[in-house]
Structure 1
Amino acid sequence: MLEITFEDDYDTAAFLHLLRNADENRHIKIHEAPGKIGIEKTHSSVSIQEYIQPILTRFFTECKEDEYMLSVIEGDYYFLDRDEQQQILQLAHSIMEGELEGLPLNHDDTPREYFIEQELKTICLEENVFSIRSFMTFRLGKYYERLKGYVEAAIDEYKMEQEYQTFIQSLRDYVTRKEPVLDHVRIVHDGHFVLWELKYISEREQKKYIDRRFVREHPMYIDSHLLAPLVSIAPKKIDLYTKNSEHAMVQTIQNIFQERVRIFSLESFHPQENILEERS
């Protein structure tokens, strides 16, 4: 019989839940005791090793993974606020699930479960005692390295998001305070973004619409071809024509100008309509 020992009642109950939801056609008998669970086979052809390995892997990934990552977030990077910890943890999960791309993770595409499975294969799980704590302490170094990489990437993403929100708020405040240079402008997104009211004037004339002082204060973030003139103009109304309302720049413009922005399909744009003439 294999005896698995746990540190607390929560882990014991969580593992029992996984056992009871495993394949019923298993020829396995479960023995419950405080802080431990016994696994006994009821047929000679059954392999406890083959049966228990995937359950143990699920236990570590589903029940202990967040616990470790939260300890890294708090203990190594000193994020003590619970809300911040949860935001970073959610970002780490998004990275693990491939929902966030292009993040600087220094590892190959090997699934993180592989590192647990390889260590379990080196241990006889047919009988004797298997300590969850000992296995986590001495056998999961590579697995923890992978989790720490996810956390580090999540923290980088979190900091970038915080910087972005601060940047957006500064632009929003500027636009709110500034007197509009033009009341109404159109932006056409067809492969690239064009501020239509400036399309047919010279580059020298275009520069007159840009608040150079404000741009100097945001050199890393301001796009000189679109955001710089758009924010400097601070229009009361923006009509944005696009095929992709989820584009990052579309979202940024909406975040800055909020209710001032109206989104239209690209096909509905009619360039012969001259807003400048309409105002004169």
Structure 2
Amino acid sequence: MTGVSIGTARQIDFLKFRLGREMKNLEKEGLKVSLQESSAGKFNFVSCQVMPGGGQREDIQDVFHRRIARTLSEIILGQWQQWLLKDIIRENYYYFNEEERQNIYRYALSHLGYGRDEQNPVYKHFFKKKIMDKILEFLRQNNQIIVEGFIRFRLKDYVEELARAVEKAVDDFLMEREYQEFIQLLKYFVEIQESRVELVHVVKLPGGTYTLLDEQEQVLKVDYLENIFMDLTDGEITYEDMLISTLITLAPRKIIIHDAGSGPKSTVMETINLVFWGRVRECRGCALCQKK
């Protein structure tokens, strides 16, 4: 008989369910298995035992350990990883409120290769293999494993990787918050500014630059804009900053962005949409779009 006892201070039901499902797969392969639950102090344990059934298997221990290692690695990368990330955020970044911590958590997942629904297969395979190897190495000399202790002492590299992902997530969150505050400030400038023109066409040119046209679809040439460009070029200012600053100064009642559908939306176009919310229309195929 081969057996392994797995303990945790967390929710035992989820662990028991996953292990039970894997034990049923072993039963289908002709092995007799049993699953028993017990507790000791703050820890709950699930004891898994397996023995040959109708057919003898010399590699029973190796097969059993691999199934345990695979199941535990999937659990750690699933439910436990969520807990670990939230624990790291709560303990190290306690000064953020709950909503802010949730945003940091989502950024951290993206740094660990998660998209909308699941983790990138490359990331998942990389972490899963490392964790499985550590579990198999541990089970060669031990028949009891406590998940929290194993993660803390045997998966230090993995926990450090999670901590780095959280650190990057905090940087992302702070940058995003700063950007949103900047957008709110620009929106305020637009609201208090008197509109100097009724309509501005923003036309995307080859090479990623833009030109501004008036209502008659002529290049905007206004005397007061020359002073703006002179002031802006004295400092460390980008082309996109100049474009946004010009539009804010003009404060048009309506902006039409041409060739908006050609490729991914640029940061400057997203900024224009946010700052001039309700005034922007995207054109995807008029004569101006075709003329470029």
Interval of TM-score (by shorter of Structure 1 and Structure 2): 0.7 to 0.9
Q: Distance in 2 between matches of 1:159 and 1:89?
A: 13
* Correspondent of 2:249 among 232, 241, 248: 232
* SS at structure 2 position matched to 1:112: helix
Quick check: 1:144 aligned with 2:159?
yes
* Correspondent of 2:80 among 39, 64, 75: 64
* Correspondent of 2:90 among 71, 74, 84: 74
How far residue 135 of structure 1 moved from its aligned partner, in angstroms, is 0.8
Structure 1 residue identity aligned to 2:69: Q
Asked if 1 retains the 8 angstrom alpha-carbon contact of 2:195 and 2:251, the reply is yes
Quick check: 1:259 aligned with 2:261?
no
Aligned length: 260
Structure 1 residue identity aligned to 2:138: I
Asked if 2 retains the 8 angstrom alpha-carbon contact of 1:171 and 1:256, the reply is yes
Quick check: 1:268 aligned with 2:270?
no
* SS at structure 2 position matched to 1:258: coil
Asked if 2 retains the 8 angstrom alpha-carbon contact of 1:69 and 1:148, the reply is yes
Q: Percent identity?
A: 20
221-230 or 248-257, which deviates more:
221-230
**Relative to 1, partners in 2 of residues 1:23 and 1:205: Cα closer, same or farther, differing over 3 Å?**
farther
Q: Distance in 2 between matches of 1:205 and 1:41?
A: 84
Q: Mark the runs of 5 or more structure 1 residues left unpaired by the alignment.
A: 101-107, 274-280
Q: Distance in 2 between matches of 1:42 and 1:70?
A: 39
Asked if 2 retains the 8 angstrom alpha-carbon contact of 1:188 and 1:194, the reply is yes
Q: Distance in 1 between matches of 2:114 and 2:222?
A: 42
Asked if 2 retains the 8 angstrom alpha-carbon contact of 1:187 and 1:193, the reply is no
Q: Deviations over 1:115-161 (max 9, x none)?
A: 32231121126972212232122111100111011111111111110
* SS at structure 2 position matched to 1:111: helix
For 1:30, the equivalent position in structure 2 comes to 35
Q: Distance in 1 between matches of 2:26 and 2:136?
A: 20
Asked if 2 retains the 8 angstrom alpha-carbon contact of 1:210 and 1:233, the reply is no
**Relative to 1, partners in 2 of residues 1:188 and 1:33: Cα closer, same or farther, differing over 3 Å?**
same
Q: Deviations over 1:27-55 (max 9, x none)?
A: 33222234110111132533221111111
Quick check: 1:166 aligned with 2:181?
yes
Q: Distance in 2 between matches of 1:201 and 1:189?
A: 15
How far residue 209 of structure 1 moved from its aligned partner, in angstroms, is 5.3
Asked if 2 retains the 8 angstrom alpha-carbon contact of 1:29 and 1:41, the reply is yes
**Relative to 1, partners in 2 of residues 1:3 and 1:98: Cα closer, same or farther, differing over 3 Å?**
closer
* Correspondent of 2:9 among 7, 11, 23: 7
| 1:75-90 equivalences in 2 (<5 Å) | 75-90=91-106
How far residue 221 of structure 1 moved from its aligned partner, in angstroms, is 7.9
**Relative to 1, partners in 2 of residues 1:89 and 1:205: Cα closer, same or farther, differing over 3 Å?**
same
How far residue 193 of structure 1 moved from its aligned partner, in angstroms, is 3.8
Q: Distance in 2 between matches of 1:165 and 1:148?
A: 26
Q: Mark the runs of 5 or more structure 2 residues left unpaired by the alignment.
A: 28-32, 117-122
Q: Distance in 1 between matches of 2:280 and 2:246?
A: 16
Asked if 1 retains the 8 angstrom alpha-carbon contact of 2:151 and 2:159, the reply is no
TM-score normalised by the chain length of structure 2: 0.77
How far residue 245 of structure 1 moved from its aligned partner, in angstroms, is 6.3
221-230 or 81-90, which deviates more:
221-230
**Relative to 1, partners in 2 of residues 1:240 and 1:200: Cα closer, same or farther, differing over 3 Å?**
closer
* SS at structure 1 position matched to 2:276: helix
* SS at structure 2 position matched to 1:181: coil
* SS at structure 1 position matched to 2:138: coil
User: Segments of 4+ in structure 1 off by > 6 A?
Assistant: 201-205, 218-222
Asked if 2 retains the 8 angstrom alpha-carbon contact of 1:211 and 1:229, the reply is no
117-126 or 82-91, which deviates more:
117-126
How far residue 219 of structure 1 moved from its aligned partner, in angstroms, is 6.5
**Relative to 1, partners in 2 of residues 1:238 and 1:201: Cα closer, same or farther, differing over 3 Å?**
closer
Q: Distance in 1 between matches of 2:18 and 2:289?
A: 62
* SS at structure 2 position matched to 1:93: helix
Q: Deviations over 1:55-90 (max 9, x none)?
A: 111121212212222222222233441111111101
Q: Distance in 1 between matches of 2:190 and 2:45?
A: 63
